[in-house]
A and B are shown apart, each in its own frame.
Chain A
Amino acid sequence: GESVGLHLPTLSVQEGDNSIINCAYSNSASDYFIWYKQESGKGPQFIIDIRSNMDKRQGQRVTVLLNKTVKHLSLQIAATQPGDSAVYFCAENIGNDMRFGAGTRLTVKP
Chain B
Amino acid sequence: DVKVTQSSRYLVKRTGEKVFLECVQDMDHENMFWYRQDPGLGLRLIYFSYDVKMKEKGDIPEGYSVSREKKERFSLILESASTNQTSMYLCATKTRYNQPQHFGDGTRLSIL
**Chains A and B are bound partners:** yes
From residue 25 to 73 of chain A, which have CB atoms closer than 8 A to chain B? 31-32, 34, 36, 41-46, 49, 51
Q: Which residues of B contact A101 (CB under 8 A)?
A: 42
| Interface residues of B, dominant DSSP | loop
The answer to whether A96 and B31 touch (CB under 8 A), given A43-B90, A102-B41, A103-B42, is yes
A89 within 8 A of partner (CB): yes
Q: Which residues of B contact A32 (CB under 8 A)?
A: 98
User: With the chains together, A96 CA to B98 CA distance in Å?
Assistant: 8
Number of A-B contacts (CB under 8 A): 40
Q: Which residues of A contact B43 (CB under 8 A)?
A: 44, 89, 100
A78 within 8 A of partner (CB): no
B88 CB to nearest A CB, Å: 9
Q: Measuring CB to CB, which residues of chain B are less than 8 angstroms from any residue of chain A?
A: 4, 31, 40-43, 48, 50, 90, 97-98, 100-106
Q: Measuring CB to CB, which residues of chain A are less than 8 angstroms from any residue of chain B?
A: 31-32, 34, 36, 41-46, 49, 51, 89, 91, 93, 95-96, 98, 100-103
